Amino acid sequence: MKRLKLVLKRIVTFSKKPFYAFYHSKVDSTSWVKGISSIRYSTIGKWSFVNKAVGLNRVEIGNYCSIAANVLIGGMEHGTDHCSTSTKLSNAPYSDKITKIGHDVWIGSYCVIRQGVSIGNGAIVGAMSFVNKDVPPYAIVYGAPARIAKIRLPEDIINELDKSKYWELPPDRARKVIEEIEKSFLK
C-alpha cells in the first residue's frame, strides 16, 4: 500500500509539470522551457528562456535569449511548385534551412520567424511581427513584414559589448561586464 501511494504521488507530481516535446534537440541545463512547446531539430544555449506554446523547428538559439509565448520560429515550410501541398500526396521535401537567433535576443509574443532567417545579437523583435528577412545586431524590428525601427545602442557601445563577449560568461560576471560598459559610455 505504501508503495502504491508513492507511485500515485509521483504520477500526480509528473502530471502537474509542463508538457513540452523535444525531438532531436538540445537544451542547455541552465535554460528554461515553459510548458506546451515543441522543439524539433533545435538547440538552445545557456541561460535562455522559452515561454509556453512556442514552436521551434531547425533553430539555433544563443545564450541569454528571451522568447515570449505563442512564437513560431522556423516552422515547416511546404514547397509551392508541386501539384499538391499535402504531405500525404507529395514527396516534396521540407526546407532544411537553419534559423539562427543570436545572443541576448528578445522575441515578443505571437511572432512568426521564417526558416533561414538570422537575427543578430541584442536584437528585439516586437510582438506580433512576421520576420522574413535577416535582422541586424541590436536592431529593434516590428510589423508584418518586420521593418527596422531603430538600432537600439550607439555603435561604440555595440563594439564594446561584442568585444566583451559577455554572453559567454555566467550571469553574475556578465552583469558586471555590462554594468562597466554602461558606466563607461552612459555618463
Q: Which residues are catalytic?
A: 78
Burial of residue 80, with CB atoms counted within 10 A of its CB: 0-12 exposed, 13-18 middle, 19 or more buried: exposed
Gap between the Cα atoms of 115 and 71, Å rounded: 13
Cβ neighbours of residue 59 closer than 8 Å, sequence gap 6 or more:
42, 43, 73, 74, 98, 99, 100, 101
Strand order in the sheet with 59-61: 26-27, 43-44, 59-61, 99-101, 118-119
Locate 126 and state its grid cell.
516586437
Gap between the Cα atoms of 142 and 130, Å rounded: 8
